[in-house]
Structure 1
C-alpha cells in the first residue's frame, strides 16, 4: 500500500470512529414551540425557553420535562435563559416589549426585572461570568450595541455606558443565545453588513474589534455563535436564509494570552450553524437547521453526525450532560 493510500485510510477510519463516538437521542415532547434558550446547570438540571412564553425544566438529565406558559407573557419569545438551580432562573424576551424576568421558586412565579416598550429594544442573548455578574446583549440603538449589566444576580439591570459601537447595518443574532459569551472577558460576534468579534474586559469596558472572513453583507449572514475551549475560540455562522450553503460557516482562533491568530478550517460544518459549544479536549459540537456537526481536532475539520434541525446546543456548567433544542419542540440528549 502506498503512503498516500495509507494516510487516506487512516483519515477515513478516524472519521468513522468520530462518527460512532457520538449518539443523539431525541426526546419526544409533542410541543409546537420553537426553542432557542437553553441552560444546562448540571447532569440533572436544565431549563429551555421559547415561543408563546413557554419554559421547561428537567430534573432527570433531559428525559422528562415540566412545562409552563408564563401567565401574562403568552405572546413572548423567550430567546435565552440562564439557570442556576432547579428553582432559580432568568429569561429574556426578544421583540417588543423587551423583558427580563426572574424566578426563584422553580417557575411558580416570575418577576419583571427589566422592561422596555420602545420597539428599538430587541434583546439577543444573555450570559454570566458568575451567579452575580451577568450581561444581556441587544441590537444596536443609535449606532451602539445595547449592553445591560447586573451585579446582583439579575435583580437589577443597568445600561453599560461604554458598549461597543456598531457599524451600519451590523447586528447580533438572537439564534441561540451564544453570540455573547462571558468568561473572564466579554465576547460578542456579529453579522449583517459585517462579521466581527468584539472583546472587552469585564470591568471598565474597552473594546477591541476584529473583522472575520465569514460571509456577510446581508441581514441573514454572518457570525452567529462563539465558544471557547482548550486555548481556542470557534466561531460558526453562515446564511440562515440559505442554510445548505457551506461557504464561511466556521472560523478558528488560537488564543495566545490576549491575541488571536485566526484561520479557516480545512473542512467546515455542513451548512449554516446557529450554535457552537465546547465539549472537552479538542472536541466541539455545532448545530443548525441543516444538522449537527462535530470537530475532534480543535475546529480544523468537522464531521456531520445528524441531519435533524436544531437551534442550540449546550453542555452542563458542572458536569458532562449535553442537550440540544430546536423548532417544533425538538429536544435531544447528545452522548460523547
Structure 2
C-alpha cells in the first residue's frame, strides 16, 4: 500500500509539473490557416499560411505585422524558413507550386521556383545552414521530389538521387517538419506506409526504416520528426480521426537515453502533426486535438493544452517557442 501511495504521489507531482507549463494565446486578428513557422531567436519569427498570408514578429510574438503576398492571394504557404527579420523563403503547396524569397522584410517577393504541372506538390522545407537547404515534395514517377539550394534559396535544382517512394506513399504538408536536416537528411512518410528515410546530405545514399505508426490510408502515417540530445521522436496518427490515441508516437533511443523502448508508456492524446525538441529530455508536440509534452524522452506524455494547433517551433538561437494553427491561432509556450 505504501509503495502504491508513493507511486501515485510521484505521478501526481509529475503531471502537476507538466501542467504548470502553459500556452498563452496571441490575438492575431486575422483569419488564415497557419502551417509554416520559423522562429529565429527570442524576438524574430515568421509565420505563413493560406490566402497568401505571411506574418512577422520582432518582439517575441506579442505583435505581428501581416501581409498578403501580392499576386499570390490564393496560395497556401505551407512552410517558411527565416534567416533574419528581412530575409525569408516560403513554399506554396498545390498547383502551381512556388518557392518565393524576400530580402526586404516582405516588401517584395521574388519567384525562385515555379511548376504549373499538377504532379508537383511541395510539402516541407529545411535548411542545414543559411545557404544549403532542401524542399521535399510528393512522389513523381516513383521518387520523392527533393530540391536543393546552395545559395540561400536563390536557385533550386533536383538532387541527383532522390529517395524512392512506395506505391501510394506520400509526405504530409502539415507543419514543415516531415523533413529535417541534422548533418544528414531525414524524411518521414505516410499514406500506404509509414517510413523514415535517411541519407547523408552530400552523397545521397538512402536507407529506410519501417515505422509502426498507423498507416494504410491517405490520412494516416508519420507526420513529423525531431532529433533530441539522447533520442529521436516521430509523431503522427490519423488526421481524419484525430482523437484516436493509438500509434501516434515512436521513440528511437540513443546510447545514453534512459528510456530504451520505442513505444511510449503513455502517448500523446491523439493525432499530432508536429514535434519539436526543447532541451534535455523534453519534447513538445501538437495537433488538432491539442498539445502534449514529455519531459522523460518520450516515455510519458501529458496534454498541456486543448487548443487546435498545426505546428510548434523553438527558436534556433534562444528559448522562444511559438505555436500556430487554423483561423489565425497563435500561441506562446512557457516552460
TM-score, length of structure 2 as denominator length: 0.98
Give the superposition deviation at 1:320. Answer: 0.2
Give the superposition deviation at 1:262. Answer: 6.1
**Where does residue 23 of structure 2 map in the other structure?**
24
Deviations 1:217-255 (A, max 9, x none): 000000000001112110000000000000101000013
Pairing 1:140–2:165 present: no
Q: Is the 8 A contact 2:22 2:305 kept in 1?
A: no
* Alpha-carbon distance in 2 for matches of 1:159, 1:78: 20
* Structure 2 counterparts to residues 92-103 of structure 1, below 5 A: 92-103=91-102
Q: Is the 8 A contact 2:36 2:78 kept in 1?
A: yes
Alignment root-mean-square deviation, CA:
1.1
Moved over 3 A (4+): none
Give the superposition deviation at 1:277. Answer: 0.2
**How many pairs are equivalent?**
332
* Structure 2 counterparts to residues 1-336 of structure 1, below 5 A: 2-20=2-20, 22-256=21-255, 263-336=262-335
Give the superposition deviation at 1:14. Answer: 1.6
* Alpha-carbon distance in 2 for matches of 1:262, 1:53: 42
* Secondary structure of the corresponding residue to residue 125 of structure 1: strand
Unpaired runs of 5+ residues, structure 2, are none
* Secondary structure of the corresponding residue to residue 14 of structure 2: helix
* Alpha-carbon distance in 2 for matches of 1:183, 1:120: 28
Unpaired runs of 5+ residues, structure 1, are none
* Alpha-carbon distance in 2 for matches of 1:162, 1:53: 32
Give the superposition deviation at 1:32. Answer: 1.2
* Alpha-carbon distance in 2 for matches of 1:321, 1:331: 13
TM-score, length of structure 1 as denominator length: 0.97
Q: Is the 8 A contact 1:285 1:295 kept in 2?
A: yes
Give the superposition deviation at 1:72. Answer: 0.4
* Secondary structure of the corresponding residue to residue 124 of structure 1: strand
* Alpha-carbon distance in 2 for matches of 1:246, 1:276: 15
Relative distance call for 1:86 and 1:184 in structure 2 (3 A) is same
